[in-house]
Amino acid sequence: MATIYSTKSGSHHWNDPIAWVGGVVPGKADTAIIESQFTLLNEGSGLHYWTGSIPDIQVDSTSGFPSTSGSFFTYTDPGVHKVQITYDSLDADQFFNCRISTSYANPKGESPTWTPGVSGSFVGIIRNNTPVFREDHTKIYLSGSSEWHIYRPYVRDQGSLIIKDYAHLALDSDIGDSYIEVEDGNLQILGHVTCSLTGSTERNSGLVHHDNFHYGTILVSGSSDLRNRTGVTANSPAGAGYLTVADASGFGEGDFISVYHDSADDHYLNISPDGNNETSYYQYGSGSDNVGASGTDGRYSASAVFPRAHRRKYKDNNETLQVVSTATNRLYVKKIYAKDGKVVSTTSFTKDQYLRQKGNVPNFTGANTSITVRSGHNNFIEGEKIVTDTGVVATIRKVRDKLIPYKNIDFATDTDPLQHFIIDPYIGSGSSVDFAATSHLITGSFGLTITTGSDSSGFHDAYGVNDGRYRRIFLKDNKLRDVKVTISASQFGGHRTSYDSDLMCGVQIRQCPYLRTRVRPFYSAPDDSQGPYIGIYSDDVYFGTEPDDYLQVDTDNSPFSGTPQRTKPSTMTIDAVRLESKYYWNGHHLGTTKTNHQAGGVTLSLRGYGATIRSMVVEEYVQELLLDTSASIPAGTNIYKTGTLVPHLSDQKIVKIAHTIKDTRGYKNLGAAYAEHLDYKNPSAIADITIPTFWSTQGDLALYQNSNTTD
């Protein structure tokens, strides 16, 4: 292992012996020190921006710099921006007739754009003791398809390591932690470069380490930027639904875009015009010599505490958005994670038509489009702005909730009504037939109930008329939050002709079909089965949202005694939209709860031989939105909440930063899939299932859901 130093001048390839002191090229067990000649600024108060030329700049030494018509490089603060300064002549420690070069471009292709004292890409102060150096000093290249095995290269003292083309850097950590240590030097990794880490000491190894050094610069850039880019060509106010751009080609639905200013274009530099600039402390400004004391540009004002040098953002127009559609020179955009919905129907109203049918709306002129939207959240509100994937931007004038039919099942008259439910005879809590969650259900003129007799299907044997037998079935392919469900049920019927208080019938919404293994009383479901429920048991109606946390109404007493559940069927309704759920029994409003639940499935619950559900009606809540446009918005159109957060200006740039996956090419995202159903008529369909469900409850029918059944 050796420490090998570069020569302090010239540009060389890494494997050229001339590049290294002693002519020995560093190898896989060596430390390479890449360094250059430099001096330091020797101006006690540093240098502020100037126009034209200044007579002289003092440094520690001008040794190694051209004697006439030369230039040197240094850095501005804050930001460590590299600038070039030209001069006409020099002596031992001064450069004379010095000017700021506007033609120099840094490694990112940026040129300085100086405006006196306030803005620009490299505006700042050159602080005392800042490095001053020639750019043509030490540069070590790793280029072409060359490969360099090295333990640890140091880049310091304004030396440069430039890795480019198809070169490969192999950092070897056999003798210690391996990485590129960038101190006050310049590292560039460009093009199709690859880097690897090998060896046995990798815990603290990495590509780049950079400790407490002020003037190190690092640029890592791929061979090309394949992202689509364009620019804003017209100012737009905050709340806009589209951007006018130079070219919309290459952008499409689902693309994420960044709309931005380069930092050079949206910052002022706040600096003190006097005092020593070797330190960055705060000072109290109260004199007229403070820059901008009477101005309004956000720089120093009188009688204020301010840092001696810092950058202040005076434009704040940057924003990340998502494209929903494009047109010629337009990108229609929505907020990230914005509310969305799909149009299920549309119509057009004149003011008189809407007034007669719906009610008054202020400032209604001409014809306005009304759309019915399925969203799942039902949370569009008046005054919000929406954008469609067909390129329509509009403001919502009026909103109202609306119920539309979803499912109407009559178990007594429909052909094969169980086809609408997830029926899996294997699922249950243990081996007892009484707790097989979905087996042995029958329908007939009486409705839906639990059958009896002998079992020839191979699932269970010899079941009778047990009043403790539970069944719970999920409506198939159903995921709703805002829903109105009505069932007609009774504690007599099916195989029974008389009332039995041990029987139960109930309905619950917002349920997860993954959790369908256990059956318990509808009002005492597992803790992970929260959601509004209503049902009958004994001579009472139970309703609520939390397992075992229910309200109970005795229907034998007034005002319910006119329709007792002992002798008449019970019609029960859950009417739930957003946070509010209302509960009804035979037309009586029993109560209201407020809870924040997720969307889920609708379930029916039965307990006991003879418990019967005659019918179920499911209606879905949607929203009807009246818009301030007459544009056609057909059914199937996607809508999104829009409205940019900030104004966007015609000097801003746009870059595509991400795509949305639209086609999985036949693959199914199982992790995001909603639980699938099985063919209830086919016991062997279990082999086709792709979404797992829990199998047993460890012998405990009430509390557990671990899968260790041995049946």
User: Residue 193: CA atoms inside 13 Å, Cβ hemisphere, count?
Assistant: 20
- In this prediction, residue 617 carries a pLDDT of 98
Q: Which tokens go with 14?
A: 């890494």
Mean pLDDT of 643-667: 87
Reported confidence tier of residue 687, pLDDT bands at 50, 70, 90:
very low
* Least confident stretch, 178-192, 266-280, 486-500, 598-612: 266-280
User: Is residue 676 scored above 70 in pLDDT?
Assistant: no
pLDDT for residue 353:
84
Q: How far apart are the first and last CA of the chain?
A: 67
For residue 697, what pLDDT is reported? 43
> For residues 652 and 317, is the Cβ–Cβ distance under 8 A?
yes
407-622 is a CATH 3.20.20.140 domain: no
Asked if pLDDT for residue 244 goes beyond 50, the answer is yes
Instruction: Give yes or no for residue 29 having a pLDDT over 70.
Output: yes
pLDDT band per the 50, 70, 90 thresholds, residue 265: low
pLDDT at position 280 is 47
Q: Which contacts qualify for 491-494: CB closer than 8 Å, 24 or more apart? A: 491/536, 491/565, 491/566, 491/610, 491/611, 491/612, 492/610, 492/612, 493/446, 493/447, 493/449, 493/610, 493/612, 493/614, 494/444, 494/446, 494/447, 494/449, 494/450, 494/609, 494/610, 494/611, 494/612
Q: Which pLDDT does position 427 carry in this prediction?
A: 66
Contacts with 379 (C-beta within 8 Å, 6 or more apart), sequence order:
339, 578
302 phi, psi to nearest 5 deg: -65, 150
Give the per-residue pLDDT at 559.
Answer: 82
Token pair belonging to 544: 């609520």
Q: Rounded to whole angstroms, how far apart are CA atoms 421 and 419?
A: 6
Which range in 221-230, 474-483, 636-645 is most confidently predicted, on average pLDDT? Answer: 636-645
Q: Which two tokens stand for residue 399?
A: 């909103």
The SS3 assignment for 289 reads coil
Residue 700 confidence (pLDDT): 45
pLDDT tens, position by position, 575-590: 999 999 999 999 999 9
What average pLDDT does the structure give for the chain?
Answer: 83
Closest CA relative to residue 591, chosen from 610, 572, 606: 572
pLDDT value of residue 299? 39
- Poorest-pLDDT segment among 88-92, 352-356, 601-605, 689-693: 689-693
Across 123-127, 275-279, 399-403, the highest mean pLDDT is recorded for: 399-403
Mean pLDDT over 334-348 rounds to 94
Contact by Cβ (8 Å): 565, 572? no
The stretch 146-171 carries a mean pLDDT of 95
3-state class (DSSP) for residue 84: strand
Q: Give the up-direction half-sphere exposure of residue 490: CA atoms within 13 A in the CB hemisphere.
A: 19
Please check the confidence at residue 109 and state whether its pLDDT lies above 70: no
Per-residue pLDDT averaged across 676-692, rounded?
46
Percent of the chain with pLDDT over 90: 53
Tell me the two tokens of residue 704: 């557990």
pLDDT band for position 357 (cuts 50, 70, 90): confident
Kindly state the average pLDDT of the residues 610-630.
95
What SS3 string covers 338-401? CCEEEEEEEEEEEHHHHHHHCCCCCCCCCEEEEEEEECCCCCCCCCCEEEECCCCEEEEEEEEE
- Indicate the pLDDT class of residue 434, thresholds 50, 70 and 90: low
Token pair, residue 158, equals 């304004």
Count of CB atoms within 10 A of residue 557's CB? Answer: 10
Indicate if the pLDDT at residue 705 is higher than 90: no
Residue 293 contacts residue 301 (beta carbons within 8 Å): yes
Q: Is the peptide bond before 78 cis (omega within 30 degrees of 0)?
A: yes
* Residue 302, pLDDT score: 44
pLDDT for residue 208: 94
pTM for this model (two decimals): 0.73
Q: Let me know if 274 is exposed, middle or buried by CB neighbors in 10 A (0-12, 13-18, 19+).
A: middle
Residue with the larger pLDDT of the pair 100 and 429: 100
What pLDDT is attached to residue 76?
A: 82
What was the pLDDT predicted at 386?
97
Q: How confident is the model at residue 440 (pLDDT cuts 50, 70, 90)?
A: confident
- Spatial separation of the C-alpha atoms in residues 448 and 397, rounded to whole Å: 46
pLDDT of residue 358: 80
Residue ranges covered by each domain of the chain: 3-37+137-222, 266-313, 407-622
Per-residue model confidence (pLDDT) at position 432: 60
Closest CA to 302 of 325, 277, 282, 285: 285
pLDDT, average across residues 127-146: 91
In this prediction, residue 301 carries a pLDDT of: 42
pLDDT at residue 382, as a whole number: 94
Q: Residue 117: what pLDDT?
A: 45
pLDDT at 276 over 50: no
Mind listing the pLDDT tens digit for each residue in 186-226? Answer: 999 999 999 999 888 778 899 999 888 888 888 898 777 78
| pLDDT score at 56 | 95
Average pLDDT of the residues in 303-322: 70
- Kindly tell me if the per-residue pLDDT of 142 is higher than 90: yes
Residue 485 to residues 358, 519, 555: CA-CA distances in angstroms?
A: 25, 20, 21
If you average pLDDT over residues 448-457, what whole number do you get? 69
Confidence check: pLDDT of 650 > 90: yes
User: In the structure encoding, which two tokens stand for residue 188, read together?
Assistant: 């560039």
Cβ atoms of 368 and 355 closer than 8 Å? no
Tell me what pLDDT residue 582 has: 98
- pLDDT reported for residue 464: 64
pLDDT band at 275 (very low <50, low <70, confident <90, very high): very low
Burial class (CB in 10 A: 0-12, 13-18, 19+), 549: exposed
Query: Residue 179: pLDDT above 60?
Result: yes
When pLDDT is averaged across residues 433-451 and rounded to a whole number, the result is 81
